Amino acid sequence: MKKYFIIPVFFCLFFSCQKKYEVVMPDTATWSMFNDPAALPLTPASRPAMEGVYTLSKGNDIFGDQAAIKWSHTSKGSDTTYHVSGFFGKDIAYFICEGKQLNGSILLNGYWRKMVSTETGIVHLTISAANGAALLLGPGPVITPGSIVIDGFFGTGSENPGTPITLSYIRKLNNSPASFQIAAHRSGGRTSDLLPVSENSVAMILKTPEFGSTGVEVDVRFTKDGVPILYHDNTLNLREVQKSGLVGPIEDYTYDQLSTFVRLVHGEKIPTLREALDAVVYQTQLQFVWLDTKYTSSIAPIHAMQLEYIQKAAAIGRKLDIVIGLPGKDQFNQFLNLADYKNVPSLCELGANESDQINAKIWAPRFTEGTQNELVADEHTKGRKVYVWTVDEPAFITSFINDGHFDGMLSNFPSCVAYNYYVHQ
Amino acid sequence: MPRFARTVIFTLLCFDLFSAAAQDTSFYAKHAAILFPYPMYREKWRSSLGLTLLTTPQDITEEVRLRIPCGDFRLLRRINDHFIIDNRVMFQFLQNHLSTGLHFMLPVNKHIYFSAGDDIGYWFGYLKISGFNSQGSGWLNYPNVALGYKTKNNLLISLRAQVSFNLYYKAANGDNKLSSSTSYYNGETFTIGLEQPFYNKRHLTLGLSAINNYFYWQTWSLFYKTNRKIFYPQITVALIL
Amino acid sequence: MYTSKKTYLLLVLLALLAVNSLLAQSNVKIDSNKVWKSFVLQVGGGIGSYTTVVHIKPPALSGSVKRYSPVGTLRLLWYPSYRLRMGFETGYTDFYSYKVKNAGKEGSLHLSAVPLLFVFSMQVVRRVNIYAGLGAYMETTHLVYDGSVTSKAFVLGTNIALSYTYPFSSKLSIVAEAEWMNAYDSKDAALNLQAKLAWRFLRWQ
């Protein structure tokens, strides 16, 4: 009978290996010092002054040897929320914190996450007065190497932070080329990346600057009654939406039906393109929107909205490029039907010749073609930018930024692109 | 249902399997098989030709759920009463996988058979169309064990457990190359096989596999190694030639 | 309970256990290897119960979700010489239905499915057969809200069934069957109990 144990052991082993893959966001509202009523917002000048490349002397076994620290903000009416993000070189790790000042020190409170796994945790960071807070909070801060030291602790999951981390300022963030766009795929990432908000949602657009994105790519489709919405897949399915009984092509349903019956996986409504562009223009500082046209009918309605929001952005002094993305031949041919198409800002995923034909603002080759430096240089001589997509492998991101000459990169991991761009020398 | 309770139930169910087996009337016959731990008695060669089909994880490959079926050719070479060489070619044009391995096989009694072996596999793929300029290849190692039960009516039931180790892989996209010679534990595969006479003198192999891997060669062009195991259910249908 | 891959393997294992446990009985006569080949058509119906645990979450749900519905099946099988049979199965079932109320507007939805499955079957003992199939379900949404919509999707899926056949002539039999359908991708599953008529309409050696 002893030999009969083998089969149940096989199955027990198999079942024990199965585990649910999910990210449980920790509760970061537990730092009593940060919640002290006496803690005040940071001064406007301290935030950009804090930005830079830092070296890690503690915590580098977990996060790597360097970090790029960058501030971002979103607004809702007169309320502005600032976040500081730290992008690390190991395991596509980052932290996202809010900042306050208390008794001359700067406190940063938030969470960290590794995109290659489900690891996450709480992080508490402090810049003491002697280690740079006095300098940052003073008038006209001039930052030199070693003048800012960020000390703190991080934890795993919901446990209190107890593992030390120390970052020291070494230099400014790279900004060459100055117009390099860190474009986030599906406005920030996919469902499978286990982010706390759904892909192609307004919530993701508002969250994406924290990931280091300077621009977004969104997928545009039309409902049955002609409302442009953000949705990637051809059909309603459980990858994108909660179960409701609605199946089949999204174009079979009106917007009222979708907004009544359907919610995205994290509970948001499917946004209209108008809601998405409102969020970009009025609530973020994003500089670039790539409207990836997933449908094959007339481009004219999207072009009209593109013009409307370019004007709206200009009216409030926002620097914003909105381009119509042409992923295939059908969309390309529809684009040719636009009056004066050569003056319509567009992004062409087909060949360089097709980009010439429509005078595309941007040519976007797939990353699988490599860096193609000669072709890229050729496009630059024509005054055209080149964005590469969708680059997710960290080794390729590093290689494309260090050895390539692209003007922008689309990725599901904008934090990894941000790290490589900002630390590049 | 708690995980522990499910494990206990499975263990008891499997006891039932082999308790029932112990009651079999004696029956001895030769059989024809490919998956079965003791596939042949006196023949030197045996081969089969069939198809495998798997589904890919929806959250990663999204609407690309089904791959084209993969051709599956197996060639067994019997060395002696206890050793066999198992060769396998899985062909899918854009990507292909070859493996060979030595298996030790042991008849435990007239109904229960056991085998243990180790296979080495090599995969390679090319994709140079529609904006792709990619190629990849790699080496894997597959230690495996199997238990088989032969009924008195020529129905052969096999249970195979296999783990895989990724030994080496390289990939290139245009002029960008990526390679790694760091070997890592890749995951496990459990297979249930049914083999029996089917039509006239032909024997049919049916296999259902649960593949749980960080990297699976058929999805090399979509993504490389993931940092969590992905579950791929796979069905195999083959005719023994 | 929506059946995850673990429960799916459980059902496969149970099927194998059923085969093996029953075959192990020394006093059971097993059919000798068939030398006759034939085709068999099974037609019938019954009742189905939607069994998923992934909760249906329409935001404007009014009342509860109706999970019981009639089901019909048509199955064509080829009986070659030996134990294993294969064939094709189709049919019709309503997985579930519900009503909604939102901002003064009312509506209703039901989700139906037509299985399109390639089926394998084996006789376990005399008159008892086990079936396992894989293929797709053509799911259809029937929506009435602010107009009406009928929309379809193909969803990968499987099924497994256990039946008892009582022959009352050389060509006709009555079949009682328990079947579990699983539209894997959409996480829709149902347990059906059916009665069928089986007609052996071709026979050759």
Low-confidence ranges of chain B (pLDDT < 50): 1-2, 4-6, 8-29
Strand spans (E) along B55-133:
70-78, 83-91, 95-107, 112-127
Interface touch C143/A253, C-beta < 8 Å: yes
Relative to beta strand A321-326, strand A346-348 is parallel
Instruction: Output the pLDDT for position A22.
Output: 85
Enumerate the residues of chain C whose CB falls inside 8 A of the CB of residue A225: none
B184 touches chain C (CB under 8 A): no
Alpha helix ranges (H) inside B32-120: 58-61
Nearest CB neighbour to A245, from listed C6, C58, C102: C58
pLDDT in tens, chain C (205 residues): 334 455 555 555 554 544 444 344 333 333 444 467 889 999 999 999 999 866 677 777 888 889 999 999 999 999 987 888 999 999 999 999 999 888 888 999 999 999 999 999 998 888 999 999 999 999 999 999 999 999 999 999 999 999 999 999 989 999 999 999 999 889 999 999 999 999 998 887 7
Strands A321-326, A288-293: parallel, antiparallel or unpaired by DSSP?
parallel
Predicted pLDDT of residue C9: 54
What does the pLDDT look like over A186-231, one tens digit per residue?
999 999 899 999 999 999 999 999 999 999 999 999 999 999 999 9
Three-class HEC string of A210-265: HHCCCEEEEEEEECCCCCEEECCCCEECCCCECCCCCCEEHHHCCHHHHHHHCCEC
Contacts of B151 (CB under 8 A, 6+ apart): B24, B111, B157, C19, C20, C23
pTM: 0.86
Q: What's the pLDDT at C11?
A: 52
Helix (H) or strand (E) holding A14: helix A6-17
CB A235 to CB C54 under 8 A?
no
pLDDT of residue A7: 38
Q: How far is CA C72 from CA A131, A139, A312, C45, C171, in A?
A: 76, 79, 58, 4, 21
Q: What is the rounded CA–CA span in Å between residue B32 and residue B9?
A: 33
Instruction: Give pLDDT, residue B159.
Output: 96
Domains defined along chain B, listed by start? 31-240 (2.40.128.100)
What value does the mean pLDDT take over residues A279-294? 97
- Listed as own residue / partner, the contacts of B98-104 with beta carbons closer than 8 Å and 24 or more positions apart are B98/B122, B98/B123, B99/B140, B99/B142, B101/B142, B101/B144, B103/B37, B103/B144
Looking at residue A4, what is its pLDDT? 35
In the predicted model, is pLDDT for residue A111 greater than 90? yes
- Domains of chain C (ranges; CATH) run 5-22+34-204 (2.40.160.20)
Q: Which of B60, B159, B231 is nearest residue A10 as measured by Cβ atoms?
A: B159
Instruction: Find tokens 């690891």 and name the residue.
Output: A119
Percent of all residues in chain A with a pLDDT value above 90, rounded to a whole number? 89
pLDDT at residue A123, as a whole number: 97
pLDDT score at B65: 62
**CB proximity C78 to B under 8 Å:** no
Taking CB atoms and an 8 Å limit, are A396 and B133 in contact across chains?
Answer: no
Q: Is B8 on the interface with A (CB under 8 A)?
A: no
CB pair distance less than 8 Å for A238 and B161: no
- Closest among B24, B44, B190 to B112, alpha carbons compared: B24
Instruction: List chains touching C (3+ CB pairs under 8 A).
Output: A, B
A15 touches chain C (CB under 8 A): yes
Q: What is the mean pLDDT of chain A?
A: 93
- Residues A418 and A399: beta-carbon distance below 8 Å: no
pLDDT at residue B18, as a whole number: 41
pLDDT (average), residues A246-258: 96
If one counts every other C-beta atom within 10 angstroms of the C-beta of residue A353, the result is 9
- pLDDT (tens digit per residue) in A293-311: 999 999 999 999 999 999 9
Render pLDDT for A16-54 as a digit per residue (tens, 0 to 9).
444 567 899 999 999 999 999 999 999 999 999 999 999
Cα four-point dihedral sign A405, A406, A411, A415: positive
| More confidently predicted of A349 and C205 | A349
Which of B65, A160, A188, A366 is closest to C184 using CA atoms? B65
**The pLDDT value given to residue B151:** 86
Q: How far apart are CA A33 and CA B82, in angstroms?
A: 71
Contact A114, A91 (CB under 8 A): yes
Tokens of C29: 């006569």
